[in-house]
Amino acid sequence: GAVVSQHPSWVICKSGTSVKIECRSLDFQATTMFWYRQFPKQSLMLMATSNEGSKATYEQGVEKDKFLINHASLTLSTLTVTSAHPEDSSFYICSALGEDQETQYFGPGTRLLVL
């Protein structure tokens, strides 16, 4: 149980395009999901917390107009990187708070490369 999927697993795009990443909780409902960014050999950096049906809460320094987060259902949250640039290239990982509201379950991550 508590499986989280992400799609796509990797994406290459041209500078200036927008990229959407989906995060799904497959076998449980998630009222809260988290989006992280991770650089090579570094720890997780929380970007935002999203709650189903309400606006996401962004961490300090994260541009909400750049990283659009939508959590429209109890099993799906999306992260859209708008007008992507090479510096947005990174490993993006989502997680979902379990139904016990106690632990996070992570997706497999999405590797984004912006050329």
In the complex, the residues that contact other proteins under the rule CB under 8 A are 2, 4, 6, 32, 34, 41-44, 46, 91, 93, 95, 97, 101-109, 111
Q: How far is the CB of 11 from other proteins (least distance, A)?
A: 14
Q: How far is the CB of 55 from other proteins (least distance, A)?
A: 17
Q: How far is the CB of 51 from other proteins (least distance, A)?
A: 10
Kindly tell me which of 81 and 96 has the beta carbon lying closer to other proteins: 96
Kindly tell me which of 1 and 86 has the beta carbon lying closer to other proteins: 1
CA distance 24 to 46: 18
The CA radius of gyration of the chain, in Å to the nearest whole number, is 13
Tokens of residue 14, six digits: 């041209």
Q: Are the C-beta atoms of 45 and 36 separated by less than 8 Å?
A: yes
Compute CA 103 distance to the chain's CA centroid, rounded to the nearest angstrom. Answer: 17
